[in-house]
Amino acid sequence: MKLYDCASAPSPRRVRMFLAEKGIAVPTVQVDLRGGEQFTDAFRAINPDSTVPVLELDDGTRIADAVGICRYFETAHKEPPLMGRDAAEQGVVAQWQRWAERDGFHAAMEAFRNATPAFKTHALPGPDEYEQIPALAERGRARVARFLERLDARLGHSEFVAGPRYTIADITALIAVDFAGWAKLKPPESLAHLRRWHGGVSARPSAKA
Amino acid sequence: MKLYDCASAPSPRRVRMFLAEKGIAVPTVQVDLRGGEQFTDAFRAINPDSTVPVLELDDGTRIADAVGICRYFETAHKEPPLMGRDAAEQGVVAQWQRWAERDGFHAAMEAFRNATPAFKTHALPGPDEYEQIPALAERGRARVARFLERLDARLGHSEFVAGPRYTIADITALIAVDFAGWAKLKPPESLAHLRRWHGGVSARPSAKA
């Protein structure tokens, strides 16, 4: 088994954090995203979508998606559960994970990729060329600001994002908050619940994975 | 238990199809999205995000997300499995489901909501006002065209989207293809594998749910 990874990128960090919380070690292969290795024929033979993370199992099966990889490990290594325990909790965790991804991580990506010169012709991840849209960078910034406020409100009456336990929703939300920082969208100091939570989840060993 | 639903909308259709494939009947409450019922105080008390579907369990727990609701039912009613059987299959199904959602359904939504007068100030689902971005409608159309081509290529060597069995990835892909039709983005006749698959999944009783 091996994980195609890029130590500096937020998407594979989601998987590395998940594995660290599970206590699982998987050999990694670093893909040089800055150097454009994801667009080479060699890497596109591994993942035509030109993205990391990709998990390759010993039988050759590949899972080319961060949450798909987490789902694999959640089923293969049940403890500790990070995607909910019973059916209802699993549904609620999925809801919050997807909210943090859509309104947080993807919004931050809109803000960052539509305004950063290196992504001039690659405003979306993947092999296709899409020009930057300045209005989309601006919309992304507005969405991130709202996401941070709502995350703070949620954390005012919930210890973690999806409820009383640490889950994949916290991983996605942490990646979203930290990635928003790349677009210079730091949470305002006034968001005290968010600051409390961010300090706590950032201090876990998994945050360094 | 009850499902807040809107019979004409694509997102809750995902859940209705999933339930039909499982053979589960759940009472529904219709929410009048065209009349703006999702923005009323009464509905925002149920889901602050102003979207359907929302599943309400008998203990009051609410799951306000289509895939979160599917996850609940997948765990509570295991047969037939629609999100993969073993760990590897679950990971692969999640990958394809998320691909169909991102590159298909969300791309079609970009094309549709950024160009349809009724969504002038609501180019994204939810309670927040976001103006339409014409360049985003255009990008959405380009993304959908590529999605349809790649879906056709995938179906050239796989009976269903995620492999040899019908799964949630087929539900999401069908919703994406049908919703793209709302933006007048019909699959070209030349995409024969897509046409074969679309005919098959559309003929299942679940497609009428």
Same domain, B112 and B40: no
DSSP per-residue string spanning chain B: -EEEE-TT-HHHHHHHHHHHHHT----EEE--TTTTGGGSHHHHHH-TT--S-EEE-TTS-EE-SHHHHHHHHHHHS-SS-SS-SSHHHHHHHHHHHHHIIIIIIIHHHHHHHTT-GGGTTBSSSSSS-B---HHHHHHHHHHHHHHHHHHHHHHTS-SBTTBSS--HHHHHHHHHHHHHHHTT-PPPTT-HHHHHHHHHHHHSGGGG-
Same domain, B175 and B101: yes
Residue pointed to by tokens 């199809």: B17
Whether B81 maps to a domain, the answer reads no
First to last CA, chain B: 18
Q: Which residue of B has its CA nearest to A93?
A: B68
Whether A82 maps to a domain, the answer reads no
List the single best residue of B95, B101, B124, B158 to mutate versus A (max A Cβ within 10 A): B95
- The answer to whether A123 and A130 are in contact (CB under 8 A) is yes
Same domain, B119 and B181: yes
Measured distance CA(A63)–CA(B79) in Å, rounded: 24
Same domain, B22 and B46: yes
Confidence band of A201 (pLDDT split at 50, 70, 90):
very high
Indicate which CATH number applies to the domain containing A93.
1.20.1050.10
- The candidate with the shortest Cα–Cα distance to B52, out of B5, B101, B105, B14, is B5
Measured distance CA(B124)–CA(B209) in Å, rounded: 25
- Domain termination residue (choose one: A31, A56, A76): A76
Whether B16 maps to a domain, the answer reads yes
Residues B186-202, mean pLDDT to the nearest whole number: 97
Give the pLDDT confidence of A126-182 residue by residue, as tens digits. 999 999 999 999 999 999 999 999 999 999 999 999 999 999 999 999 999 999 998
Same domain, B68 and B108: no
Give strand pairing partners of A55.
Answer: A3, A63
Whether B82 maps to a domain, the answer reads no
Whether A47 maps to a domain, the answer reads yes
Measured distance CA(A73)–CA(B94) in Å, rounded: 12
Q: State the complex-level ipTM.
A: 0.97
> Which secondary structure element, helix H or strand E, spans residue A174, and what is its range?
helix A168-182
Whether B152 maps to a domain, the answer reads yes
Residues A70-77, mean pLDDT to the nearest whole number: 98
- Domain termination residue (choose one: B76, B110, B127): B76
> Which secondary structure element, helix H or strand E, spans residue A111, and what is its range?
helix A107-113
10 Å CB burial of residue B33 (0-12, 13-18, 19+) is buried
Measured distance CA(B66)–CA(B89) in Å, rounded: 21
Same domain, A91 and A175: yes
Q: What domain range is B105 assigned to?
A: 87-208
Confidence band of A20 (pLDDT split at 50, 70, 90):
very high
Which phi and psi (to 5°) does residue B82 adopt?
Answer: -120, 0
In whole numbers, what is the pLDDT of chain B averaged over residues?
A: 97
Same domain, A182 and A201: yes
10 Å CB burial of residue A138 (0-12, 13-18, 19+) is middle
Cα distances from A45 to residues A34, A38, A102, B39, B194, in angstroms, run: 19, 10, 28, 47, 23
Indicate which CATH number applies to the domain containing B58.
3.40.30.10
Confidence band of B125 (pLDDT split at 50, 70, 90):
very high
Confidence band of B59 (pLDDT split at 50, 70, 90):
very high
Same domain, B199 and B179: yes
- Domain termination residue (choose one: A41, A76, A111): A76
Interchain proximity A88–B57, CB inside 8 Å: yes
Measured distance CA(B67)–CA(A98) in Å, rounded: 9
Same domain, A125 and A52: no
Same domain, B55 and B100: no
In whole numbers, what is the pLDDT of chain A averaged over residues?
A: 97
Residues of A with CB under 8 A from a CB of B: 49, 55, 57, 59, 61, 63-65, 67-69, 71-73, 75-76, 84, 86-88, 90-95, 98-99, 124, 128, 130, 133, 135-136, 139, 142-143, 146
Residues A62-84, mean pLDDT to the nearest whole number: 98
Measured distance CA(B89)–CA(B83) in Å, rounded: 8
Residues B87-109, mean pLDDT to the nearest whole number: 98
pLDDT over 90, % of chain A: 99
Whether B62 maps to a domain, the answer reads yes
Task: Please name the member of B61, B67, B91 whose beta carbon is closest to the beta carbon of A88.
Answer: B61
Same domain, A182 and A133: yes
Residue pointed to by tokens 């973690």: A160
Q: At what angle do helices A66-76 and B87-99 cross, to 10 degrees?
A: 160
Measured distance CA(B66)–CA(A25) in Å, rounded: 33
Interchain proximity B98–A72, CB inside 8 Å: no
Whether A157 maps to a domain, the answer reads yes
Query: From the CB of residue A177, how many other CB atoms can be counted at a distance below 10 Å?
Result: 25
User: What's the total number of domains in chain B?
Assistant: 2
Residues of chain B in contact with residue A93, where contact means CB-CB under 8 angstroms, are: 68
Measured distance CA(B169)–CA(B94) in Å, rounded: 8
List the single best residue of A1, A98, A130 to mutate versus B (max B Cβ within 10 A): A98
Residues B120-141, mean pLDDT to the nearest whole number: 96
Same domain, A66 and A123: no
